[in-house]
Structures are given as C-alpha cells and as structure tokens.
Amino acid sequence: MSAPVRAVSERLREFVAEAPYERRPILDFVRQVASSLQPGQRLLDVGAGDAPYRELFAHVDYVTLDWTESPHLEARQADLVASAGSLPSADAEFDAALCTQVLEHLDHPARALAEIFRVMRPAGTLYLTAPLIWEEHEMPHDYFRYTSSGLKHLLTEAGFVGVDVTARNDCFTTIAQLLLNARWAMGSAPDGLDERRGAARLVLEELAEKIAALAPLDAATIMPLGFTATARKPAPRREGANGTPG
C-alpha cells in the first residue's frame, strides 16, 4: 500500500517559495516518488543537503547522504557523510535512490551514478532531477548542465534500464524563474545604483508573473529549467529448468 498524499509543512512551503517556478514541479515529482514507495522500504537521498523533503518519507527508512564541503548546514548531520562517488554502503542495500539537483555539482557524475547503481537492489528505482538552465551556484562545485539526451546516456552507461526523462516545465516558466533569479543575481555595489536595483527587482517580479501566465502556449517544451528522470536497476535474470535464461 502506497503512502497517502499529505499536506506539506510551512518549512517545505517556504523552501519551495524561494524559487517557486523551479521547485514546485520538483516537489510534485518528489511527492509522487514518496507515494510510490512501500512502508519500510529503504531510500537513499544522495546529496540531501538540508533534507527539505524528509517529511514526505516518514513511512520509509529514509537515509540521507552529503559530503563535507556541502554549503548546507544540516548536511553535517547527514546519516552518511561521504562523496557520492564513493558511497559507504554495501552492495544492494537500498530499494530506491533520490537525487535532486545534485548531479551538476559532481565533478565525476558517471562515477556517482555507478555507485548509486551498485548500492541499489535489483529492480530498484533511481529518481533524479537535474538542471538544464540555471545560473552558477555553490561555486566552485558547479560543473555541468544536462540535456535530456545527456541524462539518458549517463543513466544507460551506468547500467540502468527503463530510463524515462521528462521536461519539468515550459519555456515561459523558465524565463519567469530566471527573471526572479536576476533579483539577487545582479548583486549590489557602492556605485550609487542600488536604489535603481531595488526598483528593478519590482519590475522583474511583475514581468515574471506576466510571462509565467503564457505557459500553456509552449508546445515544444525544449527549453525547460531542467528534467526529471526515473531509471531502474535490472532485475536478475531467471534461469529455466535446463539452466538457460527463462
């Protein structure tokens, strides 16, 4: 029996509101992941950071992992502290893995995906999100952006099957979120222009709302902020009575 969909906490609502057009579809995706898991299953959250989605996984054995250079304070209290490229877990230890907005921060993403594959049980599922369009962040550990073909290639090369990659949003929502990001990305300086920057932030918010309303017009969805992906570790092949694959 899957977990019921529950209302989210104020903490999680505030987290999503910081980058609403980016994080709402990710939250929707993670809620679907949570509802698909059976009570008691083991889930590894790779690069969990402050573990904003923890509350959604109260019905499973939710294990967080992050590394010592994470900028997130709560990462220091992760269940496992290690690099994603060298997981301190035994083979086939987890039923599923979650990896949201982490792959761009890994200097060797293929190595990390191979490790996730290793620690997952046969027929287990990896649930992943990754960016295509975003500003530099968490420097100096910001290395890559991902196309749908790039994600499919990496996941297939790691041994996963049933790879499904889906755009998270439309081009207008992408522009709207980038306009909101520009509010803080422009920074400030002792050049006498900060008052104008404050006025510009209000203009950017108004423009973002108007542009986001155009979302239904995007028929191609080739310029999303990023993608969601699901991929399975193959189940072991069964042998027939004569020892041949069944």
**Tens digit of pLDDT per residue, the chain (246 long)?**
344 446 899 999 999 999 999 999 999 999 999 999 999 999 999 999 999 999 999 999 999 999 888 888 787 789 999 999 999 999 999 999 999 999 999 999 999 999 999 999 999 999 999 999 999 999 999 999 999 999 999 999 999 999 999 999 999 999 999 999 999 999 999 999 999 999 999 999 999 999 999 999 999 999 999 999 999 999 988 766 565 555
66 and 179 inside one domain = no
Q: Which structural domain, as residue segments, surrounds residue 147?
A: 10-170+219-232
Predicted TM-score (pTM) of the model is 0.91
190 and 132 inside one domain = no
Q: Assess if residue 4 is contained within a domain.
A: no
Q: Assess if residue 94 is contained within a domain.
A: yes
192 and 88 inside one domain = no
> Cβ-count burial of 188 within 10 angstroms (0-12 exposed, 13-18 middle, 19+ buried)?
exposed
123 and 166 inside one domain = yes
Q: Assess if residue 160 is contained within a domain.
A: yes
Give the number of domains in the chain. 2
Q: Assess if residue 246 is contained within a domain.
A: no
Q: What is the pLDDT of residue 5?
A: 45
103 and 213 inside one domain = no
Q: Assess if residue 238 is contained within a domain.
A: no
